[in-house]
Amino acid sequence: MRGVALAGLTVAALVAACGGAGSYTSVVDKIRNAGRVVVGTKWDQPSLGLKTGDGPPEGFDVDVAKYVVKYLARGRHVQITWRESPSSAREVLLHNGSVDLIVATYSVIPSRRPKVTFGGPYIVIPQDTMVRASDTSVKKVTDLRGKRLCLAEGSNAYRRIVDPPPNGKLSLPMQLVPAANYSDCVRKLAAGRLDAVSTENLVLAGFAEQEPGRFRLLNDPVSNEYWGVGIKKGDTATCEAVDQAVAAMWHDGTATRLLRRWFGKTGLKLPSSLPAPVGCP
């Protein structure tokens, strides 16, 4: 019987070591005690989260995630598994445990907060609009009245333009053209299948830099958007640790350095200060 009991203890230890369900009280606990974490990012957004070939994704959000994980781990080595997290799947991936953290242009908005705990935000940026450079008829957002706007699956950015307050800003009548994601939006914009793509200016600038001279940002902000680190609802310990990591990232100059690295040549006015945290309910 003693041998059976010891065998049972060994199996239990192995399950805990491998990170079975319920093995860790929080993501920060998993990072510090298991030395591994699954991070969701975009894989199709240049300069933010772009995966090419067999390597890991690269971009500003990816580098922010690396900094946050290292901070949470208190400097010890952590194995990061990267998982693609499109806008339409972010809440589901967090809820079912497929990812531990999401750093993927994830705007902190009221409709998401009942489903997701947000660390940060780590950056505040304006929502802008991009059109084809050849379309000289559009100088400002209101010139798009009656034209075709991209509706990226899982994103709420279009609402700032077409909805009335309080959810929207302009209540502008437009034709909405569905797309799988923002890279699909940009392809359709280039092909003339829609007239404008509207989302955070860093997202648009990344796409515009890929094909210089083909697209144009209006530089006509619609709203300010707050990007946070997505965490499974209720994981307050990890949220509080992420808030500390974000503050450190700004205080030691890393946030500014990363923004300059990825967007310094865009001509955009880049964020320069730590955003106020939204809190960890």
The Cα–Cα gap between 242 and 259 comes to 19
Question: What was the pLDDT predicted at 166?
Answer: 81
Tokens in use for 195?
Answer: 């007239």
CATH no. for 126-224 = 3.40.190.10
- Indicate the residue type of 76: R
* 22 CB-near residues (< 8 Å, 6+ apart): none
**Domain 20-124+225-263 matches domain 126-224 at the CATH topology level:** yes
Say yes or no: domain 20-124+225-263 is CATH 3.40.50.720.
no
User: With 0-12 CB in 10 A as exposed, 13-18 as middle and 19+ as buried, what is 77?
Assistant: exposed
Question: What was the pLDDT predicted at 143?
Answer: 97
Number of Cβ atoms within 10 Å of the Cβ of 235: 23
Domain boundaries defined on the chain: 20-124+225-263, 126-224
* 213 CB-near residues (< 8 Å, 6+ apart): 133
89, 241 contact by CB (below 8 A):
no
pLDDT tens, N- to C-terminus, the chain (281 residues): 334 333 333 333 333 333 333 589 999 999 999 999 999 999 999 999 999 999 999 999 999 999 999 999 998 999 999 999 999 999 999 999 999 999 999 999 999 999 999 999 999 999 999 999 999 999 999 999 999 999 999 999 999 999 998 878 999 999 999 999 999 999 999 999 999 999 999 999 999 999 999 999 999 999 999 999 999 999 999 999 999 999 999 999 999 999 999 999 999 999 999 999 999 97
Tokens in use for 191?
Answer: 């092909």
Antiparallel, parallel or unpaired: β 101-102 and 148-152: unpaired
Question: What was the pLDDT predicted at 23?
Answer: 84
162, 168 contact by CB (below 8 A):
yes
